[in-house]
Amino acid sequence: MKPVLAAALCLLAAPAWSDEIVGTGGDVVEGAGLYTAYCATCHGDNARGAGRMAAILTILPPDLTRLAAENDGVFPVSRVVRQIDGRDPLLAHGGVMPLFGDFFQGAGVAVAAETGQPIMTSQPIADVTAWLESVQE
């Protein structure tokens, strides 16, 4: 009788656990504010790469609204998270996002990669990632 009860409890808990990692787990509105405050200077207000600093950068910022289009229509959550948090450093970023690496630290959350696997990151990065996903063309 106990194994049946344990199995039933696991089945009941499974949907609640999986809901925690569906999508980016971020807040689009919060992500928009963070993007405007910390990213738009280089990447542009509309995320198309034409920020105020773009003219003086050696490596031009990419059009972030085309990330999914350039990845067979799939938003590359894991690549975006890894590039923002510095796990997948970019030459233009010098590793962790310049100046803002420490700001984007915070409470750990799991976001679902495009493969469905969870990726641990901070809540601010999950929020920015959610906003970036929302502006894809």
pLDDT 10s digits, 40-73: 999 999 999 999 998 888 888 999 999 999 999 9
All domains in the chain, ordered by first residue? 26-134 (1.10.760)
Question: What is the rounded distance in angstroms from the CA atom of residue 5 to the CA atom of residue 27?
Answer: 36
Element housing 39 (H / E): none
Mean pLDDT of 97-108: 65
Question: What is the rounded distance in angstroms from the CA atom of residue 73 to the CA atom of residue 69?
Answer: 5
Question: What is the rounded distance in angstroms from the CA atom of residue 48 to the CA atom of residue 40?
Answer: 9
Element housing 105 (H / E): none
Q: What is the DSSP letter of 90?
A: B
3-state secondary structure of 73: coil
Q: Is residue 26 predicted with pLDDT exceeding 80?
A: yes
Q: Is residue 4 predicted with pLDDT exceeding 50?
A: no
Mean pLDDT of 78-97: 74
Q: Is residue 30 predicted with pLDDT exceeding 60?
A: yes
Question: What is the rounded distance in angstroms from the CA atom of residue 112 to the CA atom of residue 126?
Answer: 10
Mean pLDDT of 107-119: 91
